[in-house]
Structure 1
Amino acid sequence: MRSSPLLSIIIPTYNRCDLLPRAIESALAQSIEDREVLVCDNASTDHTDDLRESYETRGVRWVRNGENLGLCGNLHTAVFNHCKGKYFVVLSDDDYLTDTAYLEDACTFLETNPDIGFVHANIVMEDVRSGTIHELDRNIPERMQGKDFFLSLGKSSFDFAYLMTVVARTEKAKTAGFFSESEIPHGDSLAWLTMSLTSNVGFLSRNVASYVLHDANAIFNPKINAWVKDIRFFEIAYARALSSQIFSEAELKEWRHRMRNSYCGKVIDMLTFAPSMREAIATLGILQREHQIAEDPRLWLRTAKAYIKRIFRR
């Protein structure tokens, strides 16, 4: 008889005591009974800890870090040190689950399909700034070969496995080094890509959670240095895929080219808003040294346009 829960619902948080209760309540509302709700407080300095006692009386397990470990450190520690479930899902403190049966169905799917490393689903994008809601309706097979999942990344705007929907096998995620690479916010995508090299991927075609867009989202507050570090995720995935020997050279070459154009291109566009020309030049040097952007004339043209905008920016 298993002493640990089937599923851990992990909620990492930092200074969002106003939003955190909604995320916790949505986790507690899930129909799955064989689960734990685990809040990992990253040394918040607001009133987050004031919520602790009331939720612990409702069975929520609460862990507070002695110091702020950063986003990646908090997620890594949560999975490697505190997660007890056979499976886990990470629910950000500003998002919430909407389909109360989803986590139970996802765990059932994994239990009956041992070749599946993780299962994910669609989401609703809720923009609280404009009051608009966009429902994703991705046409993804219920079962996808791991190789096909890997190669599909970057082919459309909505092909990512969104973190709050991914129910993953804990031991496989640990083996994949879930957020082991420091300072790479795409540590979840790196883990899913790594897992897809040795297992298949499941998908439940329904909207199960709300991804809340607000002014504090990282995607609306881009930092050049963070993006430069973050784009390492696809280079690491590329190296791991090479070692797996399950792809042809042409397949991986096309994949790396597509990913490099996408992510390096975003960083290049940010050069327009670099605080100084020195930082812009230094960033370009890193992109060339680590990602060989000189190999693609289109990226150099994009760079020239960014520098012109930077020079004449008022």
Structure 2
Amino acid sequence: MNPQPLVSIITPTYNRPEYLKQALTSAVRQTYENIEIIVSDNCSPENPQAIVDSFKDPRIRFSRNETNIGMFGNTMKAFKMARGKYVATLLDDDLWEEDFLEKLVPPLEANPDLVLSFCDHYVINADGEINHEITEHCSQLFQRADLQEGIYQPFYKLGLVDQAVATAMAAVIRREVIDWDNIPEEVGGSWDIYLTYLCCSTGMGAYYYPEKLTRYRRHDETETMLSGRRNYQAKIRKAQAEMFCFQCFMEDEKLKEFKPYFQQQWVKVSTTLGIGLMRAEQVKQARPYLWRSLRQKLNLRSMAALLLSFAPAKVAAKF
């Protein structure tokens, strides 16, 4: 019998062998030892089985999909494989400090009314070097810089407006309170935002531990970086997922005091989706999103995009 409750570490992966090895190294080195590490490979061109086997650690459970089932499908599959009392996501390109679990699990054990505990994080580059300027910018941007240690209940604003709770890399969640079978696939790559929403919706509390215990890697192949460049497929995917989430939030009566904020975000993302479709030369499909944005709020970006959508598709694609 182990006095520590089991924690399931969720690591979905695709085609990042070197980063995966680094992520798993940070997992097996946790000072909190009662863990299972679930690695779900989404049919990578190079099977990472050898990397997993090289650790010779029986706590790692490896599964490989016969076909690529998409990022959302692969992530949810890994969550559903979990057997622990708690779950925590360690993406294949991120890292944990050795005491990440040691510091975030005890508050949950001490208080059964907590749904999750979370911390701050570093931002590292492709080579693993900490960018201190961007790290501090993120701490300020997501309202963690001056956040005091302790319990926040409810935490709707903290989780969904401030976006201080990074469930994809810097949180430990009480597994049993989430219905993993009923997370809609429309949330796509924004599954972490929706997961935060589900955690908030329990009415339980969140515990903040004010240290940087994880390392988020910024590199060219992250969905965030792809959607920020002229990769219209990534931009479209990200915008569609975010619009679905914001629509759900606007319809939730428990969130009515924050509805103006979610409407504002919906308008912004609707314009982004319209521009993404224009860059894909799908100008007719783009116009309804741009019209909706303008009906909600008049802004120059949406207006300029809408006007340009009536130009030839190849011209509009240069917006």
TM-score bracket for the superposition, by shorter chain length: 0.7 to 0.9
Structure 1 counterpart of 2:265: 259
In the TM superposition, residue 38 of structure 1 has moved relative to its aligned partner by 1.7
Structure 2 counterpart of 1:187: 191
- In 1: Cα distance, 2:187 partner to 2:262 partner: 21
Say if 2:246 and 2:263, in contact at 8 Å, map to a contact too. no
In the TM superposition, residue 159 of structure 1 has moved relative to its aligned partner by 2.9
| Paired residue type of 1:101 | D
TM-score w.r.t. length of structure 1: 0.82
- In 2: Cα distance, 1:208 partner to 1:66 partner: 34
Structure 1 segment 127-146 matched on structure 2, within 5 A: 127-128=125-126, 132-133=131-132, 134-136=134-136, 137=139, 138=144, 139-141=146-148, 142-146=150-154
Q: Aligned pairs, how many?
A: 295
- In 2: Cα distance, 1:92 partner to 1:312 partner: 33
Say if 2:60 is the partner of 1:60: yes
Say if 2:238 is the partner of 1:215: no
| Paired residue type of 1:143 | I
In the TM superposition, residue 285 of structure 1 has moved relative to its aligned partner by 1.7
- In 2: Cα distance, 1:224 partner to 1:22 partner: 28
Structure 1 segment 1-314 matched on structure 2, within 5 A: 6-57=6-57, 59-80=59-80, 82-98=81-97, 100-128=98-126, 132-133=131-132, 134-136=134-136, 137=139, 138=144, 139-141=146-148, 142-146=150-154, 149-152=155-158, 155=161, 159-174=164-179, 177=182, 179-182=183-186, 184-198=188-202, 199-222=204-227, 223-231=234-242, 232-239=244-251, 241-242=252-253, 246-247=254-255, 249=256, 251-268=257-274, 270=276, 274-276=279-281, 279-286=282-289, 292-299=292-299, 301-307=300-306, 311=316, 313=318
Distance 1:31 1:287, change over 3 A: farther
Distance 1:83 1:125, change over 3 A: same
Structure 1 counterpart of 2:312: none
Say if 2:153 and 2:206, in contact at 8 Å, map to a contact too. yes
- Gap regions ≥5 residues in structure 1: none
| Paired residue type of 1:297 | K
Say if 1:116 and 1:200, in contact at 8 Å, map to a contact too. yes
Distance 1:234 1:173, change over 3 A: same
Report the 3-state secondary structure (helix = DSSP H, G, I; strand = E; otherwise coil) of the residue aligned with 1:8: strand
| Paired residue type of 1:267 | L
| Paired residue type of 2:238 | W
| Paired residue type of 1:54 | S
In the TM superposition, residue 42 of structure 1 has moved relative to its aligned partner by 1.4
Report the 3-state secondary structure (helix = DSSP H, G, I; strand = E; otherwise coil) of the residue aligned with 1:77: helix
Say if 1:176 and 1:194, in contact at 8 Å, map to a contact too. no
- In 1: Cα distance, 2:200 partner to 2:25 partner: 32
Distance 1:183 1:287, change over 3 A: farther
Identity of aligned residues (%): 23
CA-atom RMSD in angstroms = 2.9
1:174-202 Cα shifts (integer Å, max 9, x gaps) = 3694x542452111211211221222222
Report the 3-state secondary structure (helix = DSSP H, G, I; strand = E; otherwise coil) of the residue aligned with 1:135: helix
| Paired residue type of 2:247 | E
Distance 1:129 1:307, change over 3 A: farther
Judge which range, 220-229 or 279-288, deviates more: 279-288
Say if 2:117 and 2:206, in contact at 8 Å, map to a contact too. yes
